[in-house]
Amino acid sequence: MRIPQTVTELHGPRFTPDKFPPTDNIQLTDGHEAQGERIIVQGRVLDENGRPVPHTMVEIWQANAAGRYNLPRDTHDAPLDPHFRGTGRVFTDEDGGYRFITIKPGAYPWGNHENAWRPNHIHFSLFGPGYATRLVTQMYFPGDPLLALDPIYQCTADAQARERLIAAFDLAITEPNWALGYRFNIYLRGRHATPMEDEDGDHDH
């Protein structure tokens, strides 16, 4: 069922590149490279019929290679990287495409239960035309042994839907002698929809 949007949902701040400058490289541009394994994360934002969704603001945030967030509340005993910002923002092109250059995030402990570690993951937020159209999810990496133990990943009950949260290694995105490439397509709705977090969910981990 499609819920009609009212004036409240359709007005307010618009997310456009002139107001929200894109930063597709989530390292700091201070002339130094961040520590860790350089990767390219690329994909498309698609609707329920596989049609591209252009002009969508895609933001990511993640831990550095050592598994530490550049946030005051992250007290994990792992080094901060002064050359790594840990956040990025792009807008999808006419083909729904987006691309980030980043560092593979490290796993980190999170105290949820005995010996609890989050798998390597990148947080994603997508904004359509306004606040009412925000979607939040997490992207994981193929073959991660922590996925089977992670309550956040496992809270998506449908096994097939869970797999849509795992990026695919892609040699076509990989750049020779430079960086491995991963493909992560995001389906907003429909049978192949990418599982999303609740609006009031815990985005900290």
- Give contact residues for Fe ion (rule: CB under 5 A): 205
Q: For the residues of 61-97, what is the DSSP string, one character each?
A: E---TTS--SSTT---SS---TTB--EEEEE--TTSE
| Least distance in angstroms from the C-beta of 118 to Fe ion | 6
The residue number whose beta carbon is nearest to Fe ion equals 205
| Least distance in angstroms from the C-beta of 179 to Fe ion | 21
Helices (H), the chain: 7-10, 151-154, 159-163
| Least distance in angstroms from the C-beta of 51 to Fe ion | 30
Nearer to Fe ion among residue 53 and residue 65 (C-beta): 65
The three-state secondary structure class of 161 is helix
Give the whole-angstrom CA distance, residue 34 versus residue 47.
Answer: 34
Residues paired with 169 in a beta bridge: 182
Q: Which of 44, 68, 85, 123 is catalytic?
A: 123
Nearer to Fe ion among residue 104 and residue 205 (C-beta): 205
Q: Which of 69, 140, 153, 182 is catalytic?
A: 69
Catalytic residue numbers read 69, 108, 118, 121, 123
